[in-house]
Amino acid sequence: MALNIALSGLAAAQKDMNTTSNNIANANTFGFKESRAEFGDVYSASIFSNAKTTTGSGVQTSIVAQQFHEGSSIYTNNPLDLRISGNGYFAVANDNLATQNNVLTRNGAFHLDKNNNIVNSEGQFLLGYNVDNETLQVGSFEPKALNVPDQFGQPRASENVDIGLNLPAGGAEKDPALFNPEDPDTYNKSTSATIFDSLGQPYKLTTYYVKDNVTPNKWAVYYTATDATGEKPLSLTAGEFTSATGQVGHSIEFNSDGSVNTVNNGAPIQTVEFGPNGAGLEMNGADGSQALTINFEEPTQYASPFEMRKFTEDGATTGYLAKVDIDPKGTIMATYSNGENVALGRVAMVRVSNQQGLSQAGNTQWKVTQQSGEAVWGEAMQGAFGKVKSGTIEQSNIDMTQELVDLITAQRNFQANSRSLEVGNQMQQTILQIR
């Protein structure tokens, strides 16, 4: 009996040392959770034995339980490095088309693969949800592989230009008929913005402002558009002013208090069509070109300097990925070179009712089991889920000092049980030598 008890003690001490050694070996493994060997005594007694004098039959390993408290953080310059501050797990899948077959992890070291999918070091796909680009709300908690396209948007022709500005009341008066875009003395101020044709070809649209020397509180506005061949007048379909070169401009008339009275006498400001199929600037309104409507939003004429409050247009060219940001809710925001900011998705969060019931799958990953309970899908900062920190990775939750102390303790237990085994062996030898 003593030999069996000592053998069980040796096995328990060996299990303790193995568990502690595994913890120490994974001290630098991202998202690793330490394990703890838990033991129970072996006790049995028959109906014919005296329970008061029964000593027990040794020790057995009850469970190797994982400790799921959070590890410390390591900060990186990669926005795709993620950690969860609080409860929850990331979900990853081997197949981006079979996301229902997934595993859970706290290791947030992710990067982009050759197809711009967000993956971990094993090539597994990070799962998330689609979000509305305007409201940033999740429409359905149906997980999908997250992708960050390196290009975004089809070319979109500019159709509307919105302008808001203040024209100085004390500006010098000039003759609108003498306007010449190449002569700065013929206009008071100018400003420009980029517009696009249907193929994404950019043009510089410049507006020129001339204070009328005939009618008080009235300004003439002319336009030019510049493409690869140079700057060309962009005449309007209708306007009040005409320059010596035949270019048509419209008027902006103000009230005595500086507020706007009329713009182009109340008629829409439309240019002749330009940019046929991206082939270049077309001044004759030929077929295949596009129209441009200009909208002035509450222009003013105050005794202050020229100020451009707004100069926007609704066209766009194809954008290339410039930056990726992930907010604490796990929303992936991509910025493209065409100025578009796009919500590409939201990182999925998963939790279970019993973490100890999760089955280890290796690579700091776990599988859902009946003991853990069903996976509950959600999003960061909602309910019991923690928040996502970008540019940060969760380190292992190993306390190296404690692990080394535990290793020494396990070693001492092993030595003590070895001595017990040796003593038991000596006693048997002594008995066998009795004559």
pLDDT per residue as tens digits for the range 143-176: 999 999 988 877 888 889 999 999 999 999 999 9
Report how far residue 117's alpha carbon sits from residue 113's, in angstroms, rounded to the nearest whole number: 5
Of 286, 287, 280, residue with least CA distance to 225: 280
Q: Are 318 and 154 in contact (CB under 8 A)?
A: yes
Give the residue among 234, 237, 245, 181 at the shortest CA–CA distance from 210. 181
State the DSSP string of 61-86.
EEEEEE------EEE-S-TTBEEEES
Mean pLDDT (the chain, rounded): 88
Both tokens of residue 271? 């240019």
pLDDT value at residue 122: 93
Give me the pLDDT at residue 47, please.
Answer: 62
DSSP per residue, 22-75? HHHHTTTSTT---EEEEEEEE----TTS-GGG----EEEEEEEEE------EEE
Cβ proximity of 180 and 188 under 8 Å: no
- Tokens 């997980």 locate to 143
Structure confidence at residue 53 (pLDDT): 64
pLDDT per residue over 370-418, tens digit each?
999 999 999 999 988 999 999 999 999 999 999 999 999 989 988 888 8
pLDDT at 275 over 70: no
Question: What's the token pair of residue 249?
Answer: 């401009």
DSSP state of 116: S
pLDDT given for residue 283 in this prediction: 36
* Spacing of C-alpha 135 from chain mean position: 16
Q: How confident is the model at residue 226 (pLDDT cuts 50, 70, 90)?
A: confident
CB-based contacts of 19, cutoff 8 Å, min separation 6: 35, 36, 37, 64
Q: Which long-range contacts (CB under 8 A, 24 or more apart) does 333-341 make?
A: 334/148, 334/149, 334/152, 336/151, 336/152, 336/153, 338/152, 338/153, 340/152, 340/153, 340/316
| pLDDT band with cut points at 50, 70 and 90 for residue 46 | low
133 closest CA partner among 349, 332, 319: 332
Q: Is pLDDT at 277 greater than 50 in this prediction?
A: no
Give the CA dihedral 116, 117, 122, 127, nearest 10 degrees. 160
Report the run of H or E that residue 263 belongs to, with start and end.
strand 260-263
Helix (H, G, I), strand (E, B) or coil at 4: helix
> Phi and psi dihedrals of 294, rounded to 5?
-110, 130
| CA dist list (Å): 180 to 112, 163, 249, 270, 294 | 53, 22, 12, 20, 21
Structure confidence at residue 220 (pLDDT): 96
Rounded distance, CA 101 to CA 381, Å? Answer: 25
The domains of the chain, with CATH numbers, are 2-69+403-432 (no CATH), 73-152+320-394 (no CATH), 160-313 (2.60.98.20)
Interval 78-105 mean pLDDT: 94
**Per-residue buried b or exposed e for 265-303, using 16+ beta carbons within 10 Å of the residue's own CB:** eeeebbbbbbbbeeebbbeeeeeebbebebebeebbbee
Q: What pLDDT does 284 receive?
A: 38
- In single-letter form, the type of residue at position 385 comes to F
Token digits of residue 207:
């507006």
Q: Helix, strand, or coil here: 14? A: helix
Those residues with Cβ within 8 angstroms of residue 21's Cβ, 6 or more apart along the chain or in another chain: 407
The Cα 305–Cα 283 span in angstroms is 33
The pTM is what?
Answer: 0.69
Is residue 23 very low, low, confident or very high in pLDDT (cuts 50, 70, 90)? very high
pLDDT value of residue 11: 87
What's the DSSP call for residue 300?
Answer: B
pLDDT at 282: 43
Please name the residues in contact with 371: beta carbons below 8 A apart, sequence gap of 6 or more. 354, 356, 357
Condensed to tens digits (0 to 9), the pLDDT of residues 122-144 reads 999 999 999 998 899 998 899 99
pLDDT digits (tens, 9 = 90+) for 285-332: 444 567 789 999 999 999 999 999 999 998 888 888 999 999 999 999
Structure tokens at 400: 């190296």
Residue 273 has pLDDT above 70, yes or no: no
What is the token pair recorded at 383? Answer: 């309910």
